[in-house]
Structure 1
């Protein structure tokens, strides 16, 4: 499928996050970085990565000699039931999870810079393609990944979580941009540290689940703490950490349990400990163990209070199937802790089966929403289950004044105007001249406030992050406020990379004319270590030795790249 066809196949609310891969925008040096990273990664990982890794690269359209095009990847992924799209760096975690639930791999568009070959502070196409894609060929792992997305979509996030996401994104962009000033990076680091301290003190469901994702999908090991293989994408895509993580004296190896969510992480630094899973089945077991603790599984008043504390848009689903999406601000309970009334503030959506009920979107419920929860006195079933004739038998008839008395003591008294039914259920009862009050006499709705809409349900069975109908109400408008800063490249230097790559593709040592050209390049760019390493493949013996000497001298003068030069000299 083309990029356009895949974009058209996605839900409309996800499309703003998808970018177009303009393959010609990758510079010759980008391609050289890819070749260098993949050449040495596959060597390093041949005996340390899970055996699926190398086969997975081939079967998901990832070559070692060039940056993959998204079309190449999708031609291969289609055979596995997956797709891929490109995005600009970090995207909101909930959106990332939704893509994953749809079996869509999210691939960062940009290529890491030559200055961050060992470890990139921002997502890049090496990490997202060569890190995440290979294990899709393992059916058990692919199903775990999709299930993680489904669970992740339901996690309740706080307003602070979104602020932290923006701070991480901003810092990663600044660190990857060569024109960033030390002061701007320091300020971004300080802001992220401030938010991280608050997050670690009381992490949300979404934050805890993100940690589990980090310690499994991104930085996971498989086997046991004494004998393990690498499968986490962050390790598979890092020349530095793929070797650093093997040092048991520096990096502790812990058996994976659900307790991993108690361990925070720093996305911009190497990790001091890693967790080891026994198998893909073990991964799924840990995920489901965490899911059991989440509000979307538990429901009830406690889950509504979690949503209120989060201060973000969440959804409450009743046992009738009714869904209320908005920012919850209050839940009333009876003496034994059952939720009896819920309220939202601000724009609210009413939905059924994840589809907004006509006329009950955020424009209509712009000021908030409130409705009782529970059984009615003398009713043996939930009100949603009664037929229209049965309602009439209980004096509930359109056009007449109706009085509903809940077991909680809440009463609804007004003229019934409409009953919205779907799938043989009563879902919304709309009243005029309606008063809602509780046993203490508190007025929950006054006739002067307008029409009253009652969501029908006897219990809240699920509370989760986000909205029911994502096509009608989107959480992330606009898309991220920060955009990746792209450096201006030296055209003459890029031409040199192109020339050397062409000579290498020819497969023979350079002749006299080419040798003169290579000598000129060496004179013009004596400190461009990656270009010099590429020249080693095409230089004749005398020039080859001269380049090696130049690289060794560079390693001495610049200790920060000595490790890279050692790799280049090793061939």
Structure 2
């Protein structure tokens, strides 16, 4: 499928995040940087990565010679049941997870700049394609990755989680921008530090804990034994720095992977002091499922509702009938045994079933919130959702007539029953007019709180004797969107000067000559002479060194590169890495 066909196949709430790759945006120097990084990574990872890595590069359409085309990648990915889309930098974690659940790799559009080749603060096409794509050719790993997405998109998150995401995104944009001012970077770093401080003061949410598990597996995982392991984490596979340094057992501790890894936070600004080793890809899924077993979407009940209330974000509560209530939970009444008897939301709320909004029950209608009892009706042994319309009539519950519902919990509902909404032979919603809802008496025998009065208008009562699930986000994501990409800060695009354009033409000349196999010493000497105008351009000098056979000329290039290596620690590392893979 082409990029446009894949985009058209997506639901609207995901489609808004997807861009179209303009292959012409990549400069000849971008392709040279890609080539340098991939050849260096392959040289290192051939020994230290899991054997699937090199096979995966081939099978996912990734060549060391040029930045990958997403259309070419999709021709290869389609054969193994996956797809790829391109996005602009960071996207909300829940959206990222939903793409993954749909077996879609999210690839950042941008190529890291030559100033950030060892490490980029922003997502880029090196990390997202050469890091993440290769291992999905392994069936067990691909299943783990998809399952991670399915679980991750349901995790409860807090408002401060999202604030951290936005601060990280902003900082990455500012840092990667070529002409950012120091004060702008300082301000962005301070904003992130403050967001992290607020977030750290809270108990970590499900989403936060799951992000740690993602970091220690998908991003920075090792596989094998503690004393005999290989790299599979995308963050390590795409890093010339940490991908090498992590192998030093004296500096980086290796721990066996268990679900307890969620107790280890990570710092994205520095190399990690420890890494976790999984036994196998199947073991990854076992650890993931162990974590998921304790999540609110699996457990339901009062504990899960209280978790959601603490988060103060929009989530979805699922009744045993299948009715889904999406909104910010603020109320959870329970009985003496901690069984839920009433829940309530505030602000825009959506009612849905099987992920589709019920007609007339969107956020405009339920703009102020929604509240409803939970439990069984007195003298009715089955859940109210399970009765046929005839059985309801026999129990005195008739559309068009005044109806009284006394719950076992003591909640009292009385009003004119206007409508019963049914799905797949189940009652999921009762709608009343002239309705009053009263909470149970308290322990002192005093009248319970009035939960709904006739003057408030129509009362819609959810049907279900239990809350079976609570998950992050909304049920019908297209009709109730939590994220708007149009409001997101766009990644800064680089505008090159005439002088830089002339430099890029030299890169293209060398690239064309290599492709056509017309490299000669005279050509290299002529090209090198033009580099006098670009005294700090190390990468093009290195490309010349790769191709020269003349001892005197190569010695000259070595000398120039040695001088450039003294400019910074990054220059030194990159030049040393490149020279190490050249023939002596």
TM-score by length of 1: 0.98
8 Å CA contact 1:60–1:77 kept in 2: the answer is: yes
Q: 2:472 aligned to 465, 479, 490, which one? A: 465
Aligned residue number for residue 11 of structure 1: 11
Q: 2-side partners of 1:271 and 1:149: how far apart?
A: 24
The CA RMSD measured in Å over matched residues stands at 1.3
Say if 2:572 is the partner of 1:562: yes
* Superposition deviation, residue 304 in structure 1: 0.7
Q: Match for residue 377 of structure 1?
A: 378
Q: 2:452: which partner in 1? A: 445
Residue 506 in structure 1 maps to residue 516 in structure 2? yes
Correspondences of 1:33-112 after superposition (within 5 Å): 33-112=33-112
Native 8 Å contact 1:91 1:480 kept in 2: no
Equivalent-residue separation in structure 2 for 1:242 and 1:281 (angstroms): 23
**Equivalent pair of 1:200/1:264 in contact (CA under 8 Å):** no
Q: Which runs of 5+ in 1 are unaligned?
A: none
Distance 1:443 1:304 in 2: 21
Pairwise mapping of residues 334-345 of structure 1 onto structure 2 (< 5 A)? 334-345=335-346
> Against the structure 1 CA distance between its residues 445 and 63, is the aligned structure 2 distance closer, same or farther, given a 3 Å change threshold?
same
* Cross-structure match for 2:444: none
Q: What secondary structure is seen at the aligned counterpart in 1 of 2:133?
A: helix
Q: Which position in structure 1 is the counterpart of 2:310? A: 309
> Aligned to 1:302, what secondary structure does the other structure show?
helix
Deviations 1:25-78 (A, max 9, x none): 001111001000000000011110001000000000000100010011000000
**What per-residue deviation string (whole Å, max 9, x for no partner) do you get for residues 55-106 of structure 1?**
0000000001000100110000000000000011111000000000000000
TM-superposed deviation, 1:264: 1.1
| Residue 442 (structure 1) shift | 1.1
Decide whether aligned partners of structure 1 residues 478 and 126 sit closer, same or farther in structure 2, where only a CA change above 3 A counts. closer
TM-score (normalizing by structure 2): 0.96
By how many angstroms is 1:373 displaced? 0.4
Q: Which digits, 9 at most, give the CA deviation of each residue in 1:201-255, with x for residues without a partner?
A: 4211001001100100000000122111000000000011110110111111111
Deviations 1:298-338 (A, max 9, x none): 11111111111111100000111111110111111111101
Query: Paired residue for 2:443?
Result: none
The 5 A counterparts of 1:63-462 are 63-201=63-201, 202-439=203-440, 440-462=447-469
Deviation of the 1:480 alpha carbon: 5.5
SS of equivalent to 2:382: coil
The alpha-carbon deviation at position 557 of structure 1 amounts to: 4.1
**Is the partner of 1:448 in helix, strand or coil?**
helix
Query: Match of 2:566, SS?
Result: helix
SS in 1 for 2:41: helix
Secondary structure, aligned partner of 2:16: helix
Q: Distance in 1 between matches of 2:280 and 2:373?
A: 46
Structure 1 pair 471–560 and aligned structure 2 pair: CA distance change class (3 A): closer
Is the Cα contact below 8 Å between 1:383 and 1:426 reproduced in 2? yes
> Residue deviations 1:404-456, cap 9 Å, x none?
00011111110011111111111111111000001233110000000100010
SS in 2 for 1:362: coil
**How far is 1:511 from its partner?**
5.2
Inter-partner Cα distance in structure 2 for 1:207 and 1:559:
33
1:551 to 535, 538, 561: 561
Query: Aligned residue pairs: how many?
Result: 570
Deviations 1:467-497 (A, max 9, x none): 1111211110245621111222221111111
Cα distance in 2 between the residues matched to 1:243 and 1:80: 30
CA distance 1:314–1:443, shift in 2 (3 Å)? same
- After superposition, the Cα gap between the structure-2 partners of 1:387 and 1:558, relative to the gap in structure 1 and judged at 3 Å, is closer
CA distance in 1 between counterparts of 2:386 and 2:47 reads 61
Change in CA separation of 1:379 and 1:501 when aligned onto 2, cut-off 3 Å: same
CA offsets 1:271-319 (integer angstroms, 9 cap, x no match): 1111110001110111001001100111111111111111110000011
Given candidates 465, 471, 493, the residue that maps to 2:503 is 493
CA distance in 2, matches of 1:154, 1:115: 38
Deviation at 1:538, TM superposition (A): 3.8
Q: Distance in 2 between matches of 1:39 and 1:396?
A: 73
Name the CA distance, whole Å, in 1 between partners of 2:292 and 2:198: 23
The runs of at least 4 aligned residues of structure 1 exceeding 6 Å deviation read none
Q: 1-side partners of 2:321 and 2:103: how far apart?
A: 30
1:470-485 paired onto structure 2 within 5 Å: 470-479=477-486, 481-485=488-492
Q: How many angstroms apart in 2 are the aligned matches of 1:448 and 1:557?
A: 75
